[in-house]
Amino acid sequence: MRTDSSPGTLPAREHLPATDAGTPVLDVVIPVYNEEKDLQPCVRRLHEHLTRTFPYAFRITIADNASTDGTPLVAARLAAELPEVTGFRLEQKGRGRALGTVWSASEAPVLAYMDVDLSTDLNALLPLVAPLISGHSDLAIGSRLARASRVVRGPKREFISRAYNLILRGSLQARFSDAQCGFKAIRRDVAQVLLPLVEDTGWFFDTELLVLAERAGLRIHEVPVDWVDDPDSTVHIVRTATDDLRGVWRVGRALATGSLPLDRLTRPFGDDPRDRDIQDVPRGLARQLVGFCVVGGLSTLFYLLLYSGFRQFAGSQPANALALLVSAVANTAANRRLTFGVRGRGGAVRHQAQGLVVFAIGLALTSGSLAALDAAGGSPAHSTELAVLVAANLAATVLRFLLFRAWVFPDRGAEHGASAPAAPDAPRAPHIPHAPHAPYAPAGATAVPYRPVPHQPYPSYPTTQIRADEAADTGWRDATMRLQPVHPHDTDPGDLR
């Protein structure tokens, strides 16, 4: 957790140029299903808090996903009474579907959501969105498991939450602390890139979004929150946990097989010091050396075990050739994935063929060493053979790394000619992948234009005319949001914060 003030406080307002007139800076989405009892007090309390504390234009969007009670009527009444409140109606259930659809249609630079029960203290909202407005971070989440958080909930929910996050850390190598807290925010340009990759339409939606963002190298800011459990929550714990575990398996399998195009998302937003050219140091060399050494050490142990096994029924030369061949195939596959970060099956056969050429060179070194040992000593001891092979393999390992890096797995960016770095004083625009941003649509679903649908017998919602298949303008010139304060002198003398 960062302790500096830059991501936790809003930037100086005089340094923020204005957005287009009438465009809200923050769009807070409240996904609801049959929440006629809690919706009105939640929206009024949130509206009052934002009016008093948030210095920019905002909007509260009620995302009603197929409610069958009086929720649509309450939402319509709130939208008519409060100008900053609007409503969307979806005829299909699913919190993830509601968030993905409304976020895709919103034009606000910062998108957030919170649960209707307001279990999270609203004083954490400004620290949540401030690093996104300043351009410091790409996503922000409230964390109930942070050291500074104050949480009141039963032991069963506490155990389930911590167990779930341990599963995420162990299976998907997630480094964020709390995936399930219903208090998150994301920059709009980031959402437009990530949402088309998210398949889940239910409660696993935001976990999948966070895992993809983290694997893509995006910055996730965590905010400690005060959180009080809602005893009347309608969430079905067992069914939700089962769906979450299925989602973990699906995403883990996709990451393991390389079917997700994360390589085109890696650090696409803003400047990253790892992208800067450093004189006389090839990019990624240190990390590749560490990975190659780890793989090489394991491969050497594997090779020695194979050699000792084959030596029981074959001579030294056949045993060496067989052990080196098997270990070379495993070594090439491990270095391909772990050391040089090549995912997917494309080029795997070519890489193995090139790896066999490297294997032949290593075979020549080790076989020559054994031949020289036999010529010098007649019948050397097995321990002497192993010592000579270790020394020969060390020399072959150095040569193997150089050939892997320069020939088998070269830097494709350098191979095709990377663009020259921008001048030091020139602003750097975020890199957006070449493919156009598609609106959010779950896998297997038919894309349909998004618009609020009246729910009889309740009146239709007053809504902003935005279609989900119309991509919002992404013409930002740098990572800092261009904003205009709405209430520059609106302060509450009774607010001691």
Does the pTM surpass 0.75? The reply is no
Please give the sequence-ordered ranges of beta strands (E in DSSP) within 129-244, or none if there are none.
139-143, 150-152, 183-187, 220-224, 226-228
The per-residue pLDDT for 458 is: 38
Identity of the residue numbered 36: E
For Cα atoms 229, 51, 178, give the angle at the middle one, nearest 5 degrees: 30
Could you tell me the two tokens for 187?
Answer: 């920059």
For 196, 321, 472, the CA distances from 437, given in Å and listed in that order, are 8, 51, 9
Work out whether the CA dihedral 323, 325, 330, 335 comes out positive or negative: positive
- The residue count of the chain comes to 497
Could you tell me the two tokens for 149?
Answer: 């958080």
Return all residues near 383 (Cβ < 8 A) that are at least 6 apart: none
- How does DSSP assign 363-414, residue by residue? HHHHHHHHHHHHHHHSS--HHHHHHHHHHHHHHHHHHHHHHIIIIIS--HHH
CB atoms within 10 A of CB 356: 14
Q: Would you say 96 and 202 are in contact if contact means Cβ atoms under 8 Å apart? A: yes
Digitized pLDDT (tens) for each residue of the chain, 497 residues in all: 333 333 333 333 333 334 555 689 999 999 999 999 999 999 999 999 999 999 999 999 999 998 999 999 999 999 999 999 999 999 989 989 999 999 999 999 999 999 998 889 999 999 999 999 998 899 999 998 888 888 887 787 778 878 887 888 888 888 888 888 889 999 999 999 999 999 999 889 999 999 999 988 889 999 999 988 766 665 566 777 788 888 889 998 888 887 777 666 665 555 555 555 555 545 567 778 888 888 888 888 888 889 888 888 888 888 888 888 888 888 888 888 888 878 777 788 888 888 888 878 877 887 888 788 777 766 777 788 788 878 887 787 788 788 888 888 886 544 444 434 444 444 333 343 333 444 565 544 444 433 443 433 434 444 444 443 443 343 333 444 444 544 444 444 444 44
My answer on whether omega of the bond before 459 falls inside 30° of 0, hence cis, is no
Q: Would you say 404 and 292 are in contact if contact means Cβ atoms under 8 Å apart? A: yes
For Cα atoms 182, 186, 191, give the angle at the middle one, nearest 5 degrees: 115
Closest CA relative to residue 15, chosen from 134, 117, 171, 172 = 134
Could you tell me the two tokens for 56?
Answer: 């920019």
